[in-house]
Each structure stands twice: as C-alpha cells, then as structure tokens.
Structure 1
Amino acid sequence: MTKFHSTVSRRDFMKGLGLAGAGLGAATVLSPGFHDLDEVSSASSGSTSGPGGELRRPWWVSEKDHGQTATLEIDWSQVQRADRSKISTFPYRQSDHPKAVYNREHFDELQREVVRHAAPEWNGDSIRDWAINGATGVLRFYNYYTPAKTTMFMGYQKAPTPESRNMPRWEGTAEENTLMLRHAFKLFGATDFGVTVLDENTKKLVFAKESNGKAYNFVSDDTLAETDTEYRIPSRFKYMITWTHQEATELNMRKPSNLGSSASNLAYSRLPFISVQLQEFIRGLGYHGINAWSGEMAPSNPFGTLAGIGEHARMCFVLVTPERGSMIRGMCRMLTDIPLEPTKPIDAGISRFCLTCKTCSKFCLFEALPNDDPTWDVHDQATTGMPYSPTGFKGWRLNTVNCSNCTACMAFCPFNASGRYSFIHDFVAGTSSVTPIFNSFFAQMEESMHYGNKDPESWWNNQEYLYGINPKFI
C-alpha cells in the first residue's frame, strides 16, 4: 500500500481523520491527476510568480472569467455609489445603541474571555505588551501626508517625471506593465497585487463623496485635478490596482490582546510608506496613480474579490486569501492610467467553507459577525442603529455598531494555517474547495491545536522573524 512519507498509509491517515472507508478516493474530485498523498503534497505551492510573471496559486485554486465572482452573487442594478461622508468609520465608538454601549463598558472583560481560549491563565497585557503596542502605533497613515500639506488624491508629486529627464515615458503592453508593477510592488513591501478594470458597473463601487465631502466625479475631459469641492477623474483612469500588506503572523495569532493588535499597528504604519513609493514610481514612468489606499475612494472587499486576491467571507470586511488566510492588512486601492492586464477572480472554496465553519463568529463576543447564511438583505437601521449597510450582493454584512475592531476574528480563521505549517492544511483546504467532507475537521483544527490563536505571553519566547513575518508566509 502506498505510504505518505513512508510512515502512514492512506487508509490509516483517513481513519485518523475519522473518515475510515472514505479513503482518498472520496476526494478524487480535487483532481483526477492525484493518485496518492505524496502527489498531492508535492503539488502544493505558495503564491509565487510563474513563467511570464503570472501569479501561481495553490493547486486547489481555480480562476474565473473577468467580471465573474463564483462565490459572490452581485446584482449590479442594485449597487449604488455610496456617500463616504455619511459613513462613520467606527460607529461603535459613538453609538448610543444599547449593544454598543454594553460592548464599550465591558471591552476588557470580553477581550480576556476571547484570549483565554488559548491562554486560560491570561490576566491582561503586561507593561512590555503595552510598550510594543504603543511603539507600533506611534506612526500611522496621517503622519505621512500632514507634513506634506497634501491629500492622498495626487500624493507628493516629488519624483522626477520622464519629461523632466528629457526622456519619453514608459511604453509597454498591458501584460508587461502588470508584470513590471508586480515586481515594484513586491520590492516596496506589498504582498498581493490585483487589477480590476473600471466599467459602468465597477464604477459604482467608487464612493460618490469622500469623508471630507468632496465629490469623486468621472469627467469627459482630460483634466486630472483636485478642487475645493471635487476630485476630477478623466476616463483614461480605468485600472484599479488592489494590493495588500502581510501582517506580523505570530502577533496576528495573539489577537485580540493589545500585544496582538501591534500587528495591525505595524502594518498601518508601513502602508502609507509603501503607498507613497508606488504612487511616485508610477509618476516616474509618466503616468499617474490616484492614491486610494486608505478607503476614502472605494471599499476594499469588492475590489479585492473582483481582482482575485481572495474571497468574500463571513468576516465581512476582511477578505480571506488562499495563501494567507486573514493575515493581511490594508486591502489598498490605487486608480491609475497606465494600461494593465486585469487579474481574474478566484474560487478557492473559502466562502463555501464559511457556510459551515462559523469559527470567527463564534469567537466574536461583541456579536458583530453574522451567524446565518449569506443574504441579499441589508441591516435595518432602526433595529441595529447602523448608519449604512451596502446593497447589491448576496453575502455577509458586518454590524459596525457592535464591532469594536478587536480583530479577534482575524486570529481564529482556519485558513491562516493553509499550506503553511504542514501538508495536511493544504490537503484539507484543497478538499474543502470542492467538497465539504473535511469542513468540520478543518474548522476543529483551531479548536484543538490553536493554529489560529495563541497565548500572548508565549510571543516573547517565540522564534524571532524579520518584521514579525514567518518566512512561510512570504
């Protein structure tokens, strides 16, 4: 009988999962080319570039045609441009809704209860935990733009242009440009990279107004400009780049402690730095990048889904990717006029897995994440106190009034372990992408092995990683 690593037979392996008699044959729908576990293991791969620079995804991820989202139904006729100035970023902080008030008053108690899942004796952050949290939170996105006395729309505009160098601007095909930008993005520190073309449908995802009240207007002339009342966007700006930043992996697994929250602080302190470099690089080529990374121009989840970076999941605002689970921060957006090749949406079975997993909502003690199935329905404002709920898609919607932004959900997602810590994660993730037979087992990994949630105190004795990122996630 074929052995996996010459130690465990396929039958014994499946029996260990509680699937005696099922065998690997029960999961042959994964790919008819796999005959045993050794072949599945050797086929596993991370997010690297293949020939021609295209993104090579894990073997269990399939691509869909442009504009299709196999795991997210969209009714574009119901999608309307939202007014960002009327959408509170964190309504939880100001809301007088009874649940929001309760959550604020009992935050420390609820936080401890979540963390004690992995650390029963944990009594709160130590002074060194608070010191790390404070150090990582000192420099946030506004620090990069306030000294420059400019907005994020046009950016610094400091890099020399081709014209100033007496050189022609860069001219390349859409495919060449996409490969070039992916290389630059990686160099500057971005993790994932995707492109969506703006058309009459996807334009609806761009906010009608920014939080400062200025309108985003698509104009017929060729004038890119910011005035006191509007941002003028010429029609040549039709390529929306979506990019992400990998969070410190081991800190992410210590959320929702304040030590764990340092992972988000650190990411947000770097995102603007990366964003400025990206914007100035595009300027140096002879084009423009309209900097939308902060969420002022457009929401992150729709463009991340359409660009194929990940899938819409039960965590609502947090996109889950096949390679990094929920360990990414800043689903950043940048609109540009350099011609690019759009990337394709994916089907990795993540949304389908969320149907039965519910791990994130189980540990959301603030009751912000939904426990039910995806729906077209929006939140009722009178009941929830929410000022805004997005329309036009069948999915999950966050109760922003309840959400304390503790990010516990990001620590508990079983996909955080996919293909990174051992072969079994990649195997089960691949199986769950097409059949639910392993879903309960995969969800229980977090419960029994704490792959997604760890004792905060243990971080100080953990192996050190550059920028806190386990190399397996790079």
Structure 2
Amino acid sequence: MGKFHHTVSRRDFMKGLGLSAAGLGAATVANPGFHDLDEVTASAGGELKRAWWVKENDFGNPATLEIDWSLVKRPDRSKISTFPYRNSTHPTAVYNKEHFAELQKSVIQHAAPDWEADSIQDLAMSGATLALRFYNYYTPAGKTMFMGYQNSPTPADRNMARWEGSPEENIRLLRHASRFFGASSLSVTLLDEDTKKLIFEKESNGKAYVFRDVADVEETATEYIIPNRFKYMITWTHLQATELTLREPSTLGQSASNMAYSRLPFISVQMQEFIRGLGYHGINAWSGEMASSNPFGVLSGAGEHGRFGFAVITPELGSMVRGMCRMLTDLPLEPTKPIDAGISRFCLTCATCAKFCAFGALSLEDPSWESLKEADTGVPYSPDGFKGWRLNTVKCANCTACQAFCPFNSSGRSSFIHEFVAGTSSITPIFNGFFANMEEAMHYGNKDPRTWWENEEYLYGINPKFI
C-alpha cells in the first residue's frame, strides 16, 4: 500500500479517472471557497473536524435514509433475541454453525492464501480480551443502568448550584468529557413524537418504558418511568482497535471487538456519573438497552445507514465503530443534524461487505421498504418504516468480516488518495464501482492475521491517524 501511495501522484491519479479538471470543478461547485485540491484536503470541516465532503441535512431529515414514521412501531425487546443465531434452529443457521471454521477460513484466505488455523498466541489474545467482554459494572454494585451508579456527588451534595449552560455550551462540555473517557464522537437527537417510537416498549426483562409528567426518574418492579423533560438522546461512537479490525474475521481480529465491549460499559458509567455531577440524570443504554443504536446514529449525524443494516458507518471511522451507545438525559443539549457523506450511495454499488459475508447475512439487493419475514429468519422481529438494508440476524455469526472489508475504513485518514476517493464519492457516484474494486484489489481491507504480531502495536491498538 505504501508503494502505491508513493508512485501515483495526485495529478496522475486524477488524470487516470478523467477528473483532472472535472473532479476539482465538481468539488469547487460544492464548496466554492476552495481554489485547489490542497485546500480541499486541508479543510477542517467544522467543530467535529469533519471533512469537506460531509454535508448536513435538516433536523429529523436524514436525506440518505427514507423513513415513514407512520409505519414505525415501538418494539418489544422482551420478544427479541439479542443474538438469535446462537440458539436458532433455522436450517441456514444450523449449517453455518456446523461449518463456521471453514467459512471463516475462506474469508481469511483472501488476504492470506496459505493461512490454516489460529495460533496459540492468537487464541491467548482472544481469551484475554473475552474475559471482560460485556462486563456489567452495575450488577455487582447492586445498581441498574436506568438509575445509574449514583456515586458521584451531586451539586446539592456539594452545597453548590447545578451547572446551568446553554444547549450549545452543554454539548461542547459533553464532547470534551466523552473524548477524555474514550468516546470518539458525540451527537444528539431531540426526542419528539416520532423519535419516541424508537424507544423500546418493553425491555428484555419485561419492564415497560413509560413517559410521564413526573419530577423524578423511577424504576419499579414493572416499569422504567421517564419524566417527559428527558428529550435529549446522546449518541457516542467508540473506535475499536484499528489494526486488529483489519484482521477480522480471524479469532485474533475479533479481539478488537472483544476489547471494545470490555471498555464500553466503563465509558458509559463515567458519562452517566459526569452528568449526575452537573445536576442532571442520564439513562444509560450502552449495550442495546432502551433503544436500537442505528436510528439514533443516523438521525443525529453520527454516520449513515449502510449495507451492514444494523451498524452505522461514519465518515471519520468508517465501519470501525463498535457499540454506538445511547444515553437519554434532561441536560439541555443542542441537537446535531443528520449528514450526507455519500456513504449510503457508495453502498449501493459497492456491496463488498456482502460479497465477503460467508454466512449470507448481508443483502446484495438494493435498499427496500420490506422487512425480513419470520419464515426466512425464524425470528419475530425485523424493523419497519424505512427504506434500507436489514441484517439477517439468524445468519449473522458475528464474525465481523464485514468491518474489515469496508472501503470507508481508509477514507480520509491514511493518505490523500483515500481523502480524494471519499470526496469524489460524495459528489458523484459514477466512480463508486471502480473505487470499490480498487479497494478490494489493493487489499486495503482485511490483512493477514499473522502480520499483526510482526509489527509494533499502537497504544490501545488504535492508529493515531484515526484519533
């Protein structure tokens, strides 16, 4: 990859695409302040350090995802299995489980043709990172995510007035704190009569989520009671280990996911306690509780809906985001806008993730209004009310190969070439198929798992170019 970047000049690359004038002209039309491509790639992109090609849409209107709110119903999570693949008796799921090793191997050998099996050091790393995966810090302390740890002193405990900042000041405050805790970005959705439909009707334990005109948050034996003033849904992203992500779906590569899930609850506790220390309350949903992450990620502009279905793809981190967490709060916050970075349009012609999904869980078809049928999946729930892609959770073995192969993992971070590709894709989709094929041919996606042990590892496994 390094040789490719050094031997192809900016001018030659654009000429090869026929864009030496047209591509820059299109960029200038979209962003009239730019005079040449160096200015384009050097653009800061605003407070969130977004690239120049990331455009904002109106609040509640993710132009890249059509939503019919009249069809959206509050899901009952008590009837939804979190990982239906594991216990499914659906014929495809049974086959995939019985042939997991050979299916996994077929994908890994795309980058490592002579790869045969996990080494003892690979398995040792997997075991270490699995030790705290999904560890719940609340349960040992006899606390719940809904009510919080309640360890941080409140302003009243300190004989002080609570923090009173403007919504704009508050979101800057949370962004600063969340970055310190380990979150990559933070965005906000305003809860209204439509977006309230995204809150589960019931949790997996059978308790109902109810909104009432009451003063305090309360948890009973049958209900989670949310005061109506709680109308700010925070969404934050978490970057998992970058080099290990590129070595998925090997067992070693999956350590990136394991490690992320061991850190997510830690960040969530700190976020919740920080908000408590300001004099407010945060209702935590770090691992699927309270609401699905994808809709709030799209509505708040954290990223775009892509062919992955359940996972949001971001302009900055691509598909390396793990566990997009939510927190509902009464701290007044400035909502953030949904974005258009050309990601969903790229997914239309790319389909690389679906091609390399050995388990057939990702769709190769165009986006659809149709939800998956129970007869095909063996599970009673598939989200309605939007035109997009849906992950077949019965077939999904959580191998995470789709993450490794996503071309957006390299956009805007590794070199000028990737910045240019992402920017061009956002303006015109005509070259998307070419870019996707180039990404696959150059092996920018998954890498040979064995090479990870040969290179110097980054702190927490994260390449500084992504921070």
> TM-score with structure 2 length normalisation?
0.95
Change (3 A) 1:103 1:337: same
2:350 equivalent in structure 1: 357
Q: Deviations over 1:56-88 (max 9, x none)?
A: 310110011111101000000000000001111
For the residues of structure 1 that align with 2:214 and 2:144, how far apart are their CA atoms? 22
Note the C-alpha offset of 1:41: 3.3
Shift of 1:15: 4.2
Confirm whether residue 41 of structure 1 aligns to residue 41 of structure 2. yes
The CA deviation string for residues 150-207 of structure 1, in whole angstroms up to 9 with x for no partner, is 2211111011011011111001111011101110001111111000010000000000
Contact 2:281 2:330 in 1 (8 A): yes
Counterpart CA distance in 2 for 1:352 and 1:8 is: 27
- Which AA in structure 1 matches 2:41? S
After superposition, give the CA deviation of every residue in 1:91-144 in whole Å (9 maximum; x if it has no partner).
111111110000000000000000000000111210100111111110133341
8 Å CA contact retained: 2:232, 2:333: yes
Contact 1:317–1:398 (CA<8 Å) still a contact in 2? yes
> Where do residues 59-458 of structure 1 align in structure 2 (5 Å cutoff)?
59-458=52-451
The 3-state SS of whatever aligns with 1:147 is helix
Equivalent residues of 2:24, 2:36 under 8 A apart = no
Is 1:30 matched up with 2:30? Answer: no
SS at match of 1:242: strand
Who is 1:14 aligned against?
14
Deviation per CA, 1:431-466, whole angstroms, max 9, x where unpaired?
A: 111202321222123322211110000000123200
Instruction: Give me the whole-angstrom Cα distance separating, in 2, the residues matched to 1:223 and 1:316.
Output: 36
| Cα distance per residue 1:23-45 (max 9 Å; x no partner) | 331452222344544343333x5
* Counterpart-to-counterpart distance in 2, 1:150 and 1:440: 50
Post-superposition offset of 1:293: 1.3
Between the aligned partners of 2:265 and 2:323, the Cα distance in structure 1 is: 10
Give SS of 1:290's match.
Answer: strand
Aligned residues of 2:351 and 2:364 also touching (Cα < 8 A): yes
**Letter matched to residue 73 of structure 1:** E
**Counterpart residue identity of residue 13, structure 1:** F
Cα pair 1:5 1:38 within 8 Å, conserved: no
Q: Following the alignment from structure 1 to structure 2, what is the Cα–Cα distance between the partners of residues 125 and 448?
A: 25
Q: Distance in 2 between matches of 1:113 and 1:413?
A: 17
The ranges of structure 1 where at least 4 consecutive aligned residues each deviate by more than 6 angstroms after the TM superposition are 4-7
| Alpha-carbon distance in structure 2 between the residues aligned to 1:406 and 1:446 | 21
Alignment partner, residue 457 of structure 2: 464
Q: In 2 relative to 1, CA 143–39 (structure 1 residues): closer, same or farther, beyond 3 Å?
A: closer
Alpha-carbon RMSD = 1.7
Q: 1:279, CA displacement in angstroms?
A: 0.4
CA distance in 2, matches of 1:7, 1:366: 37
Which of 219-228 and 421-430 deviates more? Answer: 219-228
Matched residue type, 2:287: S
For 2:317 and 2:402, the matched residues in 1 are separated by 14
Deviation sequence 1:366-410 (CA, Å, 0-9, x none):
000001111100111123323210000000011111110111001
Contact 2:354 2:360 in 1 (8 A): yes
* Contact 2:210–2:226 (8 Å) recurs in 1: yes
SS of equivalent to 1:232? strand
> Number of residue pairs matched?
460
TM-score, length of structure 1 as denominator length: 0.94
**Distance in structure 2 (CA, Å) of the matches to 1:324 and 1:100:** 30
Asked if structure 2 preserves the Cα contact closer than 8 Å seen for 1:446 and 1:453, the reply is no
Q: Secondary structure at 2:304's aligned position in 1?
A: coil
CA contact (8 A) 1:72 1:394 kept: yes
Deviation at 1:5, TM superposition (A): 10
Distance in 1 between residues matched to 2:117 and 2:21, nearest whole Å: 45
Q: Distance in 1 between matches of 2:376 and 2:388?
A: 20
* Matches of 1:93 and 1:129, distance apart in 2: 23
| CA–CA separation in structure 2 for the residues paired with 1:220 and 1:361 | 46
The amino acid across from 2:186 in the alignment is: F
- Residue 180 of structure 2 aligns to a residue in which SS? helix
Distance 1:143 1:440 in 2: 43
When residues 230 and 444 of structure 1 are mapped into structure 2, their CA distance, relative to the original with a 3 A threshold, is: same
Write the deviation string for residues 5-54 of structure 1: whole angstroms up to 9, x where unpaired: 998473x33344xx34x5331452222344544343333x5x8xx5xxx3
Unaligned 5+ residue runs, structure 2? none
